[in-house]
Structure 1
Amino acid sequence: MTIAFAGGGLDRADPVRSDPARLAVLTDHRARLLRMDGLDPVLGADGGLEWGTLAEAGDADELVFLGLDADANEHERGCFAAVPPELAGSVAPPSPRLWGAMAAMAARDLATYAGARSLVDWHARHRFCARSGHPTRIAKGGWQRTCTDPACAAEHFPRVDPVTIMLVENGGRLLLGRQPRYPARRFSALAGFIEPGEGIEDAVAREVLEEAGVRVRDVTYVASQPWPFPASLMIGCHAQTDDEAIVIDTTELDDARWFSREEVAHAMTGADDGAFLAPPPYAVAHHLLDWWLSR
């Protein structure tokens, strides 16, 4: 299955990050700069990402090395994104306008943008050391920040927050829930962040019990999705349960219900006259439902 934001768009070239000489060579005239409007992508007439030259970085003194690409002559060229000094970063969900733009983007562009957005956002929100409070500077081509205080010199790395998102099944029915921010009648898979000291299976069991009062068993992994708002990894799972009674945590969910295979199949056609509205195609929850129906 092709999942939005996944698949990788560039060669991340890890050895290059630790080689200042090679990084410097890659900032030659062939280098490309990903054009961004804050954290949003700048798109061309064809709906794809727009690239410019490093000269367009302006007063941005921090460049993030996104990876390697090849030009028309198969020459290696570096791809970068700038971290403007005025950028504050954001943990807000994407706007409807941004989703509309991303819906037209090719899978490779979406993957490139996901990595760039998460990295640029992380740099904008981590300009100071969490240990000493001193300013940090960019290192390893943007894949690290280092405290400028010699007595501290702490190294900080871009973070990824793991989230479990799970289908819970009982006798051929699925447990789906509604968050308050969802559009009317939309239901999706339950989800929650993995907490310190938890494995994936532990987090699935805890989140389902907390949100819906249901105890699960036989947790299995299905698929994952990078989610760059700001930097999560959605870990799609499936679990079985013998519980039928639902006890909703109203601080997390507006509603939670059991849906039959027929109801799920109808919702996945995109119809708006069924028992619920399915999650959109760019969400991993949509792929989980499709996977479940195809079993």
Structure 2
Amino acid sequence: MVQSADTLPDLALSRTVLDRSGIERRDGGLVERLLADPATRVLELRGDRAPVEPQVRSQGQEEHEEHGDLRLRLRAPTAEDSGRLVLFAGRDGRGTAYLGVALPAEGLDRADRSRERPPDVEGWVTLRQAGAALGDRDAGLFTTVLSLANWHGTHTHCSRCGAPTATSQGGWLRVCPTDHSEHYPRTDPAVIMAVVDADERLLLGRGPQWPDNRFSVLAGFVEPGESLEAAVAREVEEEVGIDVTDVRYLGNQPWPFPSSVMIGFTARALGTSIELDPHELSEARWVTRDDYRTALRTGAIHRPFGLSIAKRIIEHWLGQTIESVMSESEG
């Protein structure tokens, strides 16, 4: 893999600060002890939502404290937690343990369930809504707990014999009581790439299920037996019929929707003629930097999603942030 000289720093969701304490997970009584300790901090997850509140900053705020605009509303363990799916997320630098408990989404009011609910007030929000406004600890905690909860929700039975499995190692393992097989959480790697032609135009695509004017860079899952660079080349060729070269690494980001890691690249197109696969994309187009700025300002292209690595990849090509483009138009 060729690493770019200007990789993307400080990607959202990628700056974990908790020690995952992999060896400690092996202690069979860990979860019970942590649930009995009032100093343990618990993130309650309802469906895909967690409770947040505005971050209150004090003049003497210490370095170890969170610095986002929002923070997770954590609590001490309760007696009811012992009957729930409990997930050990690790410890911070002061030794405080963090658990996640996963519950169904029932009980949230309509405002809390809204995808459009702004993440600037207290309430239950998704990681997509709040992730960019959370500090490093809370973004990493939310990401880890959501990823594990998603996996447990779809892997309740043994893939070998079909028997119900039981959780172990603080939620990082499921064990089949019938054939004693062990099942670990999965992460699906996906590549996401800025394909640029000889004139520095960027290739954008719109998925079949996306609304009009929603465009992004191309992406796709890595297949078994495939390198990351090969996945970049294959996905671009399959989706738009273009060969690429000079694949360079930019950065990566956990993406628990439901269980991926997005690995960003740039690639140089060897041609510009688009042969669209309609099963993969509804539209694809080349844009210059001026084209893109104009399309953003007029609404011909929607702003890229703020939490995702796609936004940062586009900004890397564009040479400025999306917010600065929009502020120029307002000025």
Farther off after superposition, 158-167 or 54-63? 54-63
Whether the 8 Å CA contact 1:175–1:258 is kept in 2: the answer is yes
Q: 1:19 to 1:237 in 2, by over 3 A?
A: same
Q: How many residues of Structure 1 are paired with residues of Structure 2 in the alignment?
A: 280
Distance in 1 between residues matched to 2:174 and 2:92, nearest whole Å:
24
How far apart in 2 are the matches of 1:54 and 1:125?
25
Which stretch shifts more, 30-39 or 168-177?
A: 30-39
- 1:232: which partner in 2? 260
Cα distance, 1:44–1:35 mapped onto 2, change above 3 Å: farther
Opposite residue 150 of structure 2, the aligned amino acid is D
Alignment of 1:16-55 (within 5 A): 16-20=24-28, 24-27=32-35, 28-46=37-55, 47-55=70-78
Give SS of 1:122's match.
Answer: helix
Partner secondary structure for residue 43 of structure 1: strand
Mark the CA change 1:195 to 1:252 in structure 2 (over 3 Å): closer, same or farther.
same
**Who is 2:222 aligned against?**
194
RMSD: 2.5
* Residue ranges of structure 1 left out of the alignment (5+ in a row): 88-93
| Cα offset, 1:205, TM superposition | 0.9
Higher RCO (C-alpha under 8 Å, 6+ residues apart): 2
Q: Are the structure 2 counterparts of residues 207 and 54 from structure 1 closer, same or farther at C-alpha, using a change threshold of 3 Å?
A: same
Q: 2:73 is aligned with what amino acid?
A: E
Partner of 2:181: 154
| Structure 1 residue 17 displacement after superposition | 0.9
Is 1:170 the counterpart of 2:197? The answer is yes
Rounded to whole Å, the distance in 2 between the matches of 1:122 and 1:33 is 19
1:115 equivalenced with 2:123 (yes/no): no
CA distance in 2, matches of 1:50, 1:77: 15
Q: TM-score, normalised by structure 2?
A: 0.77
Q: Give 1:290 shift.
A: 1.7
Give the C-alpha shift of residue 35 in structure 1.
1.8
Instruction: Determine if contact 2:131/2:307 at 8 Å carries over to the other structure.
Output: no
Contact in 1 for aligned 2:208/2:279 (Cα 8 Å): no
Q: How far apart, in 2, do the equivalents of 1:180 and 1:256 lie?
A: 11
Distance in 2, Cα, partners of 1:45 & 1:284:
25
SS at structure 2 position matched to 1:82: strand
Superposed CA offset, 1:79-125 (max 9, x none): 111244x68xxxxxx94443444454334322210111010121122
Question: How far did 1:21 drift?
Answer: 5.1
TM-score, normalization by structure 1: 0.86
Change (3 A) 1:275 1:63: closer
Q: In structure 2, what is the Cα distance between the partners aligned to 1:104 and 1:64?
A: 23
- One-letter amino acid of the structure 1 residue matched with residue 316 of structure 2: W
> 1:112 corresponds to which letter in structure 2?
L
Contact 2:32 2:82 in 1 (8 A): no
Partner SS, residue 54 of structure 1: coil
